[in-house]
Chains A and B, each alone.
Chain A
Amino acid sequence: MIAGSPGRPSPFLEIEPNVNTMKAITHKLNQSLLIWLFVILPLAGLSPALMADDEAAPPEAEATEEPASSDTEEAESTDEEESEAAEAGPVDDYQGLLDNQGDGAPAFDFFATSMLWTVIAAAMVFIMHLGFSALEVGLTRSKNTVNILFKNAFIIAIGLITYAILGFNTHYPGEFGGWLSIGGPIGDLNADGGDTWGYGGLGLAMTGYGDFIFQAMFAATAATIVSGAVAERVKLSSFLIFATLLVGIAYPIVGSWHWGGGVLAAMDFKDFAGSAVVHAFGGFAALACVLILGPRKGKYDENGNVKPIPGHNMPLAAVGVFLLWFGWYGFNGGSVLSADPTPLGLVFTTTSLAAAAGVISAALVSWIVFSKPDLSMALNGALAGLVGITANADIVSPWSSVIIGLVAGVIVVFSVIALDKAGIDDPVGAISVHGTCGIWGILAAYFFQLPESGVVLASQIKGILLVAIAAFAFSAVVFGALKVIMGVRVSDEEEEEGLDKAEHGAEAYPDFN
């Protein structure tokens, strides 16, 4: 790897640790560590138990006294009252929680379980950002690694903030059957029964904050799809502006057409967890940006032949895909929007089988077409299967999900090849995985639906076209404007040197590594 710049020696060279001092210091650290591990932590762990002894004693004493007691009625009733008062403490608190639920009190346990699942699922969707980061880093060159990680870090951050500022209320303006309803910042989402069963009932068994945070995590995943497609040559500042607008404004508006009760909801468009409004949305936004941006230098020779630019870290790419797969259980599983065991088990099953089938078909197709099995294609196949099932995981049978995954794996391989040959340079296959397979997922919802699921082909086609065109158009306009105003691409020298040095003045792998 490239060494640090020769004229600037590391400041650490001036410090010359004496070996004996280091040994003395670490010895002291080891000693204090041992004290912490075996003395202080157990004491800390035991302290609640030690403190609770006083409270536990009287009720036990009362309980053992009662049966043996042959006192007068007065004494007996006083004993009972005292023991009731002492025992009722924790139950009182629980009763308080129930009272807060008002009419929803009988459903509290299910409500609490559902909310718990929702917030866990939200955290799992967050893990998809680890997945995206690792995958993008693995499939690109090491000289651009810091840049890619920076973009990913920024996207989750700006996604969450903008969703709180206007995204959530724009996404969910209430029944409006329309096109546009820009909302404001979130307030206290626990207020006015926002923390009770009444907030969403069985169909949305979570508090307002649970709803917010789960959906907020989704918003950022849509924008991060674009970062992979434009990697290694996009100008950082332009991209950050674009991503902010995409996730802050476009995503909630397009999403509101479906989940927010807008035009798509009015035509019974089915998109369980967002094949269209998250994945195809991101995929077609990415397509618009890549068309405007152009391919990486050196990707195509003078005759237009593809000259592959291999990724620099296959282990990271693979780990990234597995993290995405893991996070997808939160993405699809959480979209059940309650802990209802019936759909939850089905969704986990269909999601898993589709991913697995995608790996197998993509691997086989790449083996046949390229005469060698391609790891990055197999990995893309998993994601393709996952995107394909995302629209319909709750309304298809397990065997249908296998077929959906198999088809997605085949589609993604040919889509990657086709886009590559068409001069559309997508380093991570984001457009194929999310755009092409997003369309497949929406259509598969119609073709593989279980009886009485109510999916209408015309609505599916209209819906996916609407979302795809909207995402494409928004991105074309905004990214196009940015190109005119400030440029969207780094210079040739910067691209050759690597964005890490050019945009960040840093290296991902300094020293001999």
Chain B
Amino acid sequence: MKKIEAIIKPFKLDEVKDALAEVGLAGMTVTEVKGFGRQKGHTEVYRGSEYTVDFLPKIKLEIVVDDAQLEEASKAIIAAAKTGKIGDGKVFVLPVEEAIRIRTDETGAEAV
């Protein structure tokens, strides 16, 4: 099993969710985060004084998939989240040791 952590632009969330549903993956966890990579921040003005905002709002999407589905899941996410402009985000793949469904105590691939 692998866990995909994807940082994407917030307005891309629905597209990514739909794309994952199309390849048969319907479960995920989503968090609002702030961050930056190469995308620079921007200046804002508040009551006459300027300040830079470095951290930009993003969405972090976490989904645990079976090894067999890893490639199509990543491809779906990337295709849906891409805009071609700086700040599109990143996909990270991590190994998962165990997964257990709380309601039924199923483990492994059935739990995902």
Q: Give A contacts to B, CB under 8 Å.
A: 306-310, 366, 369-372, 374, 376-377, 413, 416-417, 420, 429
| Cβ of A304 to closest chain B Cβ, rounded Å | 12
Closest chain A residue to B49 by CB distance? Answer: A306
Interface residue from A309, A310, A369 paired with B48 (Cβ < 8 Å)? A369
Residues 40-79 (chain B) with a chain A CB within 8 angstroms: 44-51
Top 6 nearest A-B pairs by Cβ distance? A308-B46, A306-B49, A417-B48, A308-B49, A370-B45, A310-B46
Give the number of chain B interface residues (Cβ < 8 Å).
8
Q: Complex: how many Å from CA A94 to CA B79? A: 82
Interface residue from B44, B47, B50, B51 paired with A416 (Cβ < 8 Å)? B47
> Secondary structure at chain B's binding surface: helix, strand, loop or mixed?
strand
- Given contacts A309-B46, A413-B48, list 4 more A-B pairs with CB under 8 A: A307-B49, A308-B44, A374-B47, A377-B47
| Cβ of B82 to closest chain A Cβ, rounded Å | 30
| Cβ of B71 to closest chain A Cβ, rounded Å | 34
Closest chain A residue to B51 by CB distance? Answer: A308
B46 touches A374 (CB 8 A): yes
By a CB distance below 8 angstroms, the chain A residues around B49 are 306-308, 420
Most buried by A among B46, B47, B48: B47
Q: Complex: how many Å from CA A308 to CA B49? A: 6
| Cβ of B9 to closest chain A Cβ, rounded Å | 22
B48 touches A420 (CB 8 A): yes
Can you give 6 A-B contacts (C-beta < 8 A)? A307-B49, A372-B45, A376-B46, A417-B47, A420-B47, A429-B47
Q: Complex: how many Å from CA A300 to CA B51? A: 12
Q: Complex: how many Å from CA A259 to CA B47? A: 36
Q: Complex: how many Å from CA A371 to CA B48? A: 10
By a CB distance below 8 angstroms, the chain A residues around B44 are 308, 310
By a CB distance below 8 angstroms, the chain A residues around B51 are 307-308
Closest chain B residue to A413 by CB distance? Answer: B48
| Interface bits B11-54 vs A (CB < 8 Å: 1, else 0) | 00000000000000000000000000000000011111111000
By a CB distance below 8 angstroms, the chain B residues around A420 are 47-49
By a CB distance below 8 angstroms, the chain B residues around A310 are 44, 46
| Cβ of B53 to closest chain A Cβ, rounded Å | 10
By a CB distance below 8 angstroms, the chain B residues around A308 are 44, 46-47, 49-51
By a CB distance below 8 angstroms, the chain A residues around B45 are 370-372, 374
By a CB distance below 8 angstroms, the chain B residues around A372 are 45
| Cβ of A476 to closest chain B Cβ, rounded Å | 26
A416 touches B46 (CB 8 A): no
| Cβ of A285 to closest chain B Cβ, rounded Å | 22
Q: Complex: how many Å from CA A156 to CA B58? A: 43
Closest chain B residue to A372 by CB distance? Answer: B45
By a CB distance below 8 angstroms, the chain B residues around A377 are 47-48
Q: Complex: how many Å from CA A371 to CA B45? A: 9
Q: Complex: how many Å from CA A309 to CA B50? A: 11
Q: Complex: how many Å from CA A420 to CA B51? A: 14
| Cβ of A323 to closest chain B Cβ, rounded Å | 21
Closest chain A residue to B53 by CB distance? Answer: A310
Q: Complex: how many Å from CA A310 to CA B44? A: 10
| Cβ of A406 to closest chain B Cβ, rounded Å | 19
Q: Complex: how many Å from CA A309 to CA B47? A: 10
| Cβ of A426 to closest chain B Cβ, rounded Å | 10
Q: Complex: how many Å from CA A413 to CA B44? A: 17
By a CB distance below 8 angstroms, the chain B residues around A376 are 46-47
Q: Complex: how many Å from CA A310 to CA B45? A: 9
By a CB distance below 8 angstroms, the chain B residues around A429 are 47
| Cβ of B41 to closest chain A Cβ, rounded Å | 14
